[in-house]
Chain A
Amino acid sequence: DAKTTQPNSMESNEEEPVHLPCNHSTISGTDYIHWYRQLPSQGPEYVIHGLTSNVNNRMASLAIAEDRKSSTLILHRATLRDAAVYYCILMYSGGGADGLTFGKGTHLIIQP
Chain B
Amino acid sequence: KAGVTQTPRYLIKTRGQQVTLSCSPISGHRSVSWYQQTPGQGLQFLFEYFSETQRNKGNFPGRFSGRQFSNSRSEMNVSTLELGDSALYLCASSLEGLAGQETQYFGPGTRLLVL
Whether chains A and B associate is yes
Query: B35: which A residues are within 8 A, CB to CB?
Result: 99-100, 102
Contact status B48-A43, CB under 8 Å: no
Contact of A97 among B56, B106, B109 (CB under 8 A): B56
Query: A30: which B residues are within 8 A, CB to CB?
Result: 100
Q: Say yes or no: A99-B42 contact (C-beta < 8 A), given A42-B108, A46-B103.
A: no
Is there a chain A Cβ closer than 8 Å to B101's Cβ?
Answer: yes
How many residues on B have C-beta within 8 angstroms of the other chain's C-beta atoms? Answer: 26
A interface residue count range (under 10 / 10 to 19 / 20 to 34 / 35 or more):
20 to 34
* Interchain nearest-CB distance for A57 vs B (Å): 11
Render B86-101 as a binary contact track against A, CB cut-off 8 A, 1 for contact.
0000101000011111
* Interchain nearest-CB distance for B22 vs A (Å): 15
| Measured CA separation A80–B58 after assembly (Å) | 35
* Interchain nearest-CB distance for B10 vs A (Å): 11
Which chain A residues have a beta carbon within 8 Å of chain B's beta carbons? 30-32, 34, 36, 42-46, 49, 51, 87, 91-104
Which chain B residues have a beta carbon within 8 Å of chain A's beta carbons? 4, 33, 35, 42-46, 48, 56, 58, 90, 92, 97-109
Extra inter-chain contacts (5) besides given A45-B106, A96-B100, CB under 8 Å: A46-B103, A49-B101, A99-B56, A100-B98, A102-B42
